[in-house]
């Protein structure tokens, strides 16, 4: 069964994000958008170790990279660790295209996806929040960025010498607004886990680390090299993130309880 939030508008937005985050290699890209390795048959923990190796042992190149960013959405080590805690993952989950997409939606939710869908956040604010998560996305209004004030079309992380926005603001705003065409179920059925939001590509090379893998597979968040189109077909998606039913039930019950308490005037 496909999750309600994996409608065509979400598939399109996810494709736009991957387009410049991972380039042609897509879900199997490394920091330099290379595709000599396969990530989609590896476990969550294996991918995490490969990403970490890029800034510790030098990954596949032998030279330390500027980021541990890995896979279709350029997850850095800190982000993967946050997702593992928030979603109560075992680390044995296979990083298939569908699972990577679900992790990306979890990060979107940490940036206000459900608030936006409920009408509690504007499209502009949500789009700017996504730019904080993926540096290749532009801000759509002038805001205070990570290093300086940024204007529409610039990366939230402009000025760090590593990232640049590679989309037009109008393209992202159109894709974000299209999400509202998806039919959202009742509050209890619409529950989406809310992991702690963390930027995708904000770390300096580490001088020490625990990873020993030699063939890191990843793609940079907001890479500055020329983007390459991705032609991989959209995958089928499992309900939630493939978590055990007990975890899904806990999430649904918690959200349902929140809305019931709010309706009763207790919150």
Average pLDDT of span 135-156: 94
- Is the pLDDT reported for residue 46 higher than 60? yes
Distance of CA 93 to the CA centre of its chain: 17
Compare 213 and 117 and report the one with higher pLDDT.
Answer: 117
Task: Give tens-digit pLDDT for 68-90.
Answer: 888 999 999 999 999 999 999 99
Which DSSP category does 149 fall into?
Answer: E
CB 65 within 8 A of CB 51: no
Lowest mean pLDDT among 86-100, 116-130, 241-255: 241-255
Per-domain residue ranges of the chain: 8-231+242-263
Count of CB atoms situated within 10 Å of the CB of 239: 14
Question: Model's pTM, two decimal places?
Answer: 0.69
Task: Give tens-digit pLDDT for 202-246.
Answer: 332 222 222 222 222 222 222 222 232 333 333 334 333 344 444
Angle at 78 between CA 194 and CA 35, to 5 degrees: 105
- Is the pLDDT reported for residue 44 higher than 80? yes
Count of CB atoms situated within 10 Å of the CB of 266: 8
Which are the contacts of 12, defined by CB distance < 8 A and separation ≥ 6?
A: 175, 178
Element (H, E) at 150: strand 149-150
Tokens coding 67: 């980021």
């Amino acid at each position: 069964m496909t999750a309600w939030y994996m409608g065509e508008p979400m598939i399109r937005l996810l494709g736009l994000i991957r387009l410049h985050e991972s380039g042609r290699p897509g879900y199997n890209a490394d920091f330099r958008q290379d595709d000599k390795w396969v990530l989609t048959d590896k476990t969550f923990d294996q991918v995490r170790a490969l990403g970490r190796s890029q800034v510790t042992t030098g990954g596949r190149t032998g030279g330390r990279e500027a980021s541990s960013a890995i896979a279709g959405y350029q997850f850095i080590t800190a982000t993967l660790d946050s997702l593992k805690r928030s979603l109560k993952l075992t680390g044995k989950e296979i990083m298939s295209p569908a699972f990577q997409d679900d992790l990306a939606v979890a990060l979107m939710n940490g940036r206000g996806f459900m608030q936006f869908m409920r009408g509690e956040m504007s499209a502009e604010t949500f789009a700017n929040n996504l730019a904080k998560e993926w540096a290749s996305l532009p801000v759509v209004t002038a805001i205070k960025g990570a290093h300086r004030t940024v204007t529409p079309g610039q990366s939230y992380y402009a000025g760090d010498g590593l990232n640049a926005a590679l989309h037009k603001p109008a393209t992202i705003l159109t894709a974000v607004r299209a999400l509202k065409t998806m039919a959202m179920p009742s509050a209890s059925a619409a529950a989406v886990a809310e992991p702690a939001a963390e930027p995708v590509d904000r770390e300096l090379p580490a001088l020490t680390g625990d990873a020993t893998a030699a063939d890191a597979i990843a793609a940079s968040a907001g890479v500055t090299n020329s983007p390459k189109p991705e032609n991989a077909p959209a995958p089928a998606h499992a309900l939630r993130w493939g978590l055990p039913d007990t975890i899904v039930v806990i999430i649904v019950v918690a959200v349902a309880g929140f809305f019931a308490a709010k309706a009763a005037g207790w919150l």
